Amino acid sequence: MAKKTLSTGICYLVGAGPGDPGLLTIKGKECIAAADVLVYDYLVNIEILRHGKPDVERIYVGKKAGDHTLPQEEINKLIVKLTREGKTVTRLKGGDPVLFGRGAEEAAELAEAGVRFEIVPGITSAIAGPAYAGIPITHRSHASQLTIFTGHEDPTKSETSLNYAKLAQAEGTKVFLMGVERMEEITGELIKHGAKAETPMALVRWATTGRQQTLVATLGTMAQKVKETGFKAPAVAVVGDVVTERDNINWFENRPLFGKRIVVTRTRQQAGVLSRQLADLGADVIELPTIRIEEPNDLLSFGELVQDCHKYDWIVFTSPNGVDAFFTMFDKLYNDARSIGGARIACIGPGTAEKIKARHLAVDLMPEKDFVAEGLVKAFKDKHDIENQTILWVKAEETREVIANGLTGLRAIVDEAVAYRTVAEREDNLEALARLKNEGADMITFTSAATVDHFLELGVALPENCEIASIGPVTSKALKKHELPIAVEAKSYTIPGLVEAIRKHFAK
């Protein structure tokens, strides 16, 4: 029996799910949020690490390119040591932590060391993988029994402990993991022991992610097909009549952008919204942040202008980043939402307006459809007399002067509050760059002129046949300046507008 312990440290052995970041449990998410240290494996989707605290320590123990995984004994020692130090350690393992995941061994080490631990089950690839390929692992008319086994046993064991005779005779569905490399042997043994060669079979690779691939064959033909197509691990294998259900319910791979690899170049913080919408339509998204938002060089002046914001007739916001920077400063200066006074608020477009509304402030003016600086100036011109009115324009350091010139032209008095700077993102994108180089992409998205300029600064070649999508005319202008061909330009210059344009483009 595990010893009772009062140690302050705790280790959560968490199932991270099969890949789709939405398939993490709520408890798993809470464990990530509570962690001082995250220890994670190769098959864990690193997107879920975002739920961690900003300063959380991350330790990767999976295999690196060409490299081997940290040996299991070292991992055991590591998590025991960290937990003993009094830390909250969240150990993330792909799928479920104990299903062919050596979670039990880690638990035993923690128990032996007398430190606290908990096991948080996860959604296993053995069930979710087939489900995302439109294959239910049981079915009233096909299978009422499920057998799960591993195709890759402990290589130090001399003889297989798999009893192929019994496996072959098992009723219902069979699922095996880690079997791609030994496909010929496994399917051969099953057939040799009486399984029917014509039993339907599927392999699902990188299941539940945008790069999912499914190969359908029979028990008798799969090994050959794997060779022919060069199909690689990691994949879940599923054998049984349930595979035929895929013909009717292949929901995941039928989504409009499935099979399209799309690059998102916005800041890491902002990428989420666009990535999510593309992924929801089935795209395989590579986040390659090219820019990062930083404080303005003259933070003091910005602070002074924010402090005086209630003295203005209008406050004009021309980007969501500006709204964020403004209210971060505002909240430092004031404890009362009313300190913004009676100033009216104008926004360049819906994304910016949404941020304002999230603060429970109403937007008094926004262009009807032309969500660029020119559109906002026109909206003022059409709807308001701003002669002699005072305007505080919250802007990026490098923004075009259209607003200042336009509003001054309408005889307003404009003060410019430089709220942030856009700089090149140099960290955090090694993996994305590697994927771009190795796997290519179907489309790259640009959501501002800055993303264009900074992408080009990275000096990365655009993959072959990679098309370009632009959020609107200002971004397109930056692309044209560099003679880059634009395949898609959003009709509505917003993130949903861009997503819709991309969907339409690929529907053709």
- By annotation, the residues acting in catalysis are 41, 63, 178
Q: What CA dihedral angle connects 38, 287, 398 and 312, to 10 degrees?
A: -70
Q: Does 320 bind ligand SAH (CB under 6 A)?
A: no
Q: Does 18 bind ligand SAH (CB under 6 A)?
A: yes
Cα–Cα dist 439/433, whole Å: 10
Asked if residues 236 and 175 have their Cβ atoms less than 8 Å apart, the reply is yes
As beta bridge partners, residue 17 has 95
Of 12, 13, 19, 245, the one binding ligand SAH by CB under 6 A = 19
Binding residue count for ligand SAH, defined by CB under 6 A: 25
Residue closer to ligand SAH by CB (options 175, 195) is: 175
Report 239-278 residues binding ligand SAH (CB under 6 A). Answer: none
Asked if residues 121 and 94 have their Cβ atoms less than 8 Å apart, the reply is no
Q: Which residue has the tokens 């991270």?
A: 16
The length of the chain is 508
> CB of 501: closest distance to ligand SAH in angstroms?
30
Residue 113's SS3 state is: helix
Q: Does 299 bind ligand SAH (CB under 6 A)?
A: no
Asked if residues 475 and 446 have their Cβ atoms less than 8 Å apart, the reply is yes
Neighbours of 470 (CB within 10 A): 29
Through-space distance between the first and last CA atoms of the chain, rounded to whole angstroms = 63
Cα–Cα dist 485/474, whole Å: 14
Residue closer to ligand SAH by CB (options 43, 436) is: 43
Q: Does 208 bind ligand SAH (CB under 6 A)?
A: yes
Report 37-56 residues binding ligand SAH (CB under 6 A). Answer: 43
Residue closer to ligand SAH by CB (options 137, 177) is: 177
Q: Closest residue (Cβ) to ligand SAH?
A: 95
How many Å separate Cα 283 from the centre of its chain?
11
Residue closer to ligand SAH by CB (options 109, 416) is: 109
Radius of gyration of the chain (CA): 28
> CB of 195: closest distance to ligand SAH in angstroms?
20
Cα–Cα dist 67/158, whole Å: 25
Candidate segments 99-107, 337-345, 351-359, 385-393, binder of ligand SAH by CB under 6 A? 99-107
Q: Does 28 bind ligand SAH (CB under 6 A)?
A: no
Asked if residues 213 and 171 have their Cβ atoms less than 8 Å apart, the reply is no
Cα–Cα dist 452/440, whole Å: 18
CA–CA distances in Å: residue 96 to residues 74, 85, 120, 126, 430 = 21, 26, 8, 9, 28
Of 119, 146, 235, 441, the one binding ligand SAH by CB under 6 A = 235
> CB of 359: closest distance to ligand SAH in angstroms?
39
Candidate segments 216-224, 230-238, 347-355, 492-500, binder of ligand SAH by CB under 6 A? 230-238
Q: Does 417 bind ligand SAH (CB under 6 A)?
A: no
> CB of 223: closest distance to ligand SAH in angstroms?
16
Q: Pattern 139-178, binding to ligand SAH, x per CB under 6 A?
A: --------------------------------------xx
Residue closer to ligand SAH by CB (options 96, 370) is: 96
Q: Does 129 bind ligand SAH (CB under 6 A)?
A: yes
Residue closer to ligand SAH by CB (options 233, 424) is: 233
Q: Does 96 bind ligand SAH (CB under 6 A)?
A: yes
Cα–Cα dist 182/174, whole Å: 16
Neighbours of 498 (CB within 10 A): 26
Q: Does 373 bind ligand SAH (CB under 6 A)?
A: no
Cα–Cα dist 276/16, whole Å: 19
Phi-psi region of 180 (alpha: psi -120 to 50; beta: other; left: phi over 0): alpha
Residue closer to ligand SAH by CB (options 235, 391) is: 235
Candidate segments 67-75, 121-129, 218-226, 249-257, binder of ligand SAH by CB under 6 A? 121-129
Cα–Cα dist 192/223, whole Å: 14
Q: Does 99 bind ligand SAH (CB under 6 A)?
A: yes
Q: Does 130 bind ligand SAH (CB under 6 A)?
A: no
What is the token pair recorded at 323?
Answer: 């709204």
Q: Does 478 bind ligand SAH (CB under 6 A)?
A: no
Binding-site ranges for ligand SAH (CB under 6 A): 18-19, 43, 93-96, 99-101, 124-126, 129, 177-178, 204-208, 233-236
